[in-house]
Structures are given as C-alpha cells and as structure tokens.
Structure 1
Amino acid sequence: MKKHNQDIRDLIYVHLNQPEQYVISYGIEFEEFADAFSGSMNHLLLLKHRFDEGEFNRHTLHEFVPREKIAKLAKDGVYGYGNFCWIDFVEEEDLNELTGQEIAELLYLGHLKQHLKLPFYNKLGNRFVYLAHDDGWFNKTYYRSFKDLFTLLSIVIAGKLGHLKLEKTLLGIKKKRTYPEVSKEILLSLTPFLKEAFAFR
C-alpha cells in the first residue's frame, strides 16, 4: 500500500459543478466522509476497490459493504487502493432490480470516473457516487443534494483545524483543540466561489 502523505491535511480544495451535480475535491478523505455521515450512510456497492471483507451480489457481480462494515472500510487505508469508487444503495434487493443498461453505466462510472447520465437511481435511492484516485488527492463526488456537501465541509473543516491548531497543556503536551462546525449558511454563501474552485487553508 502507498504511504499516506500527511501534507494533505493542510489544504482542502473544492470545485463545484452544479449542473452535473458533482464536486472535485482534494484534501477530504473517505474516512472523514464516512465519519461525517456516520449513522446515516447506506450500504456501498463497490465499483473499484481492494477491500477484502465485502459481500458479493450475484446480479451485479460486484461486492458491496453493508452499512455496519463501513467504519471498518474507512479504517482500511483506502488511499492505498489506488482507485476507490462506490455508489450507495438502500437495500440489497434493489441491486437485483438494476437493468443491464444501468449496470453498464455503473461500470463506466467506476472505470472512467465520468457519467453517461446523471448517476442517481431511484431504484437504489443513492445520495452519493464517490470516485477517487489516491483517495484524498483526487475525488469526484456526486451529490443528490448539495446540503450533504455543506454538511461534510462544515464538519471536515472544523476537524482539520483541530489537527492543525494544537494547543499546549500546562505540562507542555500538545492536544487537539476542538472547534465548532462551520455554519452551513456561511458555506452556502461561498457557493459562487466553489464554482470557480476554492481552497480552505
């Protein structure tokens, strides 16, 4: 597995493509993404991965991660996978309803990290499509609702500040400082800048 470069924690880069409902980002890793939505994420159909503990769906011939194993996946060092791509879904039975055309669209998504049509499937009820190469360095994430993007940014920015701005205790030991989540209203006001590409440092 590739060694993770901690410099990535110093900067978040975000470029929003609103018409096509995706964001290109740098500096946000899957572990942070999973933490931000812990308790509300659905199962993940793995399009590209190296996770050894997925379950197999016979209809799509893809592995998937049940929601109760997402935390384990997040700790698995997905940066070292190279390509790491998934789409979430509500119930496994829903995967069995996908047509050949829809499965082909998912294969295309995972392979080229581009969509043939917007990748939101009512059958799956998916909120996200997550397409990463060297997770945290190049991530393309589709959002059904950009409210989820602003939730993610508000949590991740506060978390990164806590890692960067350590405070010393009376004994001189550095400890993580806790910052409140960034107001979603403030982040929403930055939407025009996100369309031009914006970096948080």
Structure 2
Amino acid sequence: MSSSLLYLYEDAENHRLTMSGVSFSDFILSIDSKRPLLVSGAAFKSVKQSFRTSFHYVEGHEVEQFAQSIDVERSPLSTIDIRSSHSLDTLTDVEIAELLFLMHMKRGMPSPFLSSVGNEWAYFSEQDSVQATVYLKDWSQIEHALSLLIQRKIRREFRVLSASPLTAEIIINLRHLLHEGVLIDFANVKQSVFTRQITIPVYVAGRYEDMTVLKEDLDTNKESIVKRGELIHRKKAWIFELQ
C-alpha cells in the first residue's frame, strides 16, 4: 500500500493493532521502548545470539539503530521486547517452545505476553511500512502511540507543519474510530494556494488483512470505505471535522 496512506485497525479484546504506513522505527518511537529485543525473520547483521536458546537479540541501547537499519526496511520482522538478554539463558524447554510458537505463528498460545521474558509488546511485519501486526499489553498506550504516529506522518508529509501539534480532542475522536479501521489518505490532500489551508480525508474502512486489497477498494470507491471526516490545517492549527 502507498506510504502516503495510514491505516490503523484495533482489536481491543485481543490487544491487537493492524497498521499500514507505519515503519518499525515509527512504532518504536511511538511507545518509547528501550528494552532489549528478541528478533527473527532474516539474517540481520547487527544482532547477538543466545548460546542457550540460539535466539537472536538486540540490546536496549542498540534498538534505535537497529530499527533504522536497511536490513529492517527490506526484511520480514518478528520481534518482542524482553526483560533482559540474560533471561534468554535461563529459559526452560517449554518456555523456549512458547517463544518459538509466538515468533513463528505471530500469535500467542494462548497469550502473546509471556511471563518467561516479561514482554510488553510483540510486533510482526512481512514488509516494513506496508503492514504490521502489534500486540500491546498496556492498551492505555494506544492514544499516546496514535498521537505520535499521526504527527510523525504529518511531519514527514508536510515538513513546514512540524510545529503544529494535534490536540487531545482530535486524538480522542480518531481513537474512537480505530475499531472501524481508520484510513487517513495523505495521497489525496487538498491544498489552497491562497489560504494555505490543508485538508486530509479521513475514512473508516473496516478490517483488512491484505493492504493491496484495501488500496484497490479505496481507488475504486468501494461503498464499504466511508469518508468520516477531514483533518484540516488552517491558521497554524489543526482541527478534525467529523461528517
């Protein structure tokens, strides 16, 4: 799907968020994670290996650099945060099996949050920025993460607007739409030369697991994708007009 589209769908019951238009680096910054990471999915160059389990991991102080690496941008990625890299060397065979299942199947058995490593989230992506599945243990983080993700996207698309934050009211209104599948379309922005007003369409699209299908449905104006409002920047401030 186009990097100029931002799609977010929540399954609050399972603490699961489906995302498109969000890179792994964006995600890490949105939750301010500095813990070590257990990683798999490709032959990443900048990872270490646990002798006891053969799991690959990244230390906490290396996470930001790892998240921005070309390897991550080009490769599938399965990763969870862990309490400590040393905890990998004390895992039982059963706990190793639980981690292998989670990293391979991209779902827990029954939970994606494992007491053995104390992970607070799990992130799975086949292609960076195209589609990702995230599990968050502390679901109250969603509004904060949503705010940072959208504002980071805005800064990337409109560098001159970096000093115009989204209000708490805007984030709350968008948060209420997450269960319907929010789609913010940066590819079809309207800009007024005279007033300098910027208008960004906001849709609800429902649940999608294939982002290619979502893009096709948006392009063909499928009835199930409904315009719900507009993010508007005027007079150096953002507003969200619901329809």
* Structure 1 position 61, deviation (Å): 1.1
Residue in 1 that maps onto 2:98:
105
What CA distance in whole angstroms lies between the structure 2 residues aligned with 1:91 and 1:181?
35
Among 127, 143, 158, the alignment partner of 2:120 is: 127
Residue in 2 that maps onto 1:194:
178
What CA distance in whole angstroms lies between the structure 2 residues aligned with 1:88 and 1:181?
29
The correspondence of residues 1-201 of structure 1 with structure 2, limited to 5 A, is 7-8=2-3, 10-38=4-32, 40-77=33-70, 78-81=72-75, 83-167=76-160, 177-183=161-167, 186-201=170-185
What CA distance in whole angstroms lies between the structure 1 residues aligned with 2:169 and 2:84?
33
What CA distance in whole angstroms lies between the structure 1 residues aligned with 2:34 and 2:152?
19
Q: Is the 8 A contact 1:155 1:181 kept in 2?
A: no
Residue in 2 that maps onto 1:173:
none
Identity %: 23
The worse-fitting range, judged by mean Cα deviation, of 93-102 and 112-121 is: 93-102
What CA distance in whole angstroms lies between the structure 2 residues aligned with 1:58 and 1:143?
28
Q: Is the 8 A contact 1:159 1:179 kept in 2?
A: no
Cα–Cα, structure 1 residues 24 and 48, in superposed 2: closer, same or farther, change >3 Å? same
* Structure 1 position 31, deviation (Å): 1.3
Give the structure with higher Rg (CA): 2
Match of 1:96, SS state, is helix
| Structure 1: gaps (5+ residues) | 168-176
Q: Is the 8 A contact 1:97 1:123 kept in 2?
A: no
TM-score by length of 1: 0.80
| Structure 2: gaps (5+ residues) | 186-243
What CA distance in whole angstroms lies between the structure 1 residues aligned with 2:140 and 2:92?
29
* Structure 1 position 22, deviation (Å): 1.0
Cα–Cα, structure 1 residues 136 and 89, in superposed 2: closer, same or farther, change >3 Å? same
Runs of 4+ that moved beyond 3 A: 179-192
Cα–Cα, structure 1 residues 185 and 102, in superposed 2: closer, same or farther, change >3 Å? farther
TM-score by length of 2: 0.68
RMSD over aligned CA atoms reads 2.2
What CA distance in whole angstroms lies between the structure 2 residues aligned with 1:34 and 1:166?
21
Q: Compare relative contact order (CA 8 Å, sep 6+) and give the higher one, 1 or 2.
A: 1
What CA distance in whole angstroms lies between the structure 2 residues aligned with 1:65 and 1:79?
16
Match of 2:177, SS state, is helix
Cα deviations by residue, 1:10-33 (Å, 9 ceiling, x for unpaired): 121111111111111111101112
> Alignment length, in residue pairs?
184
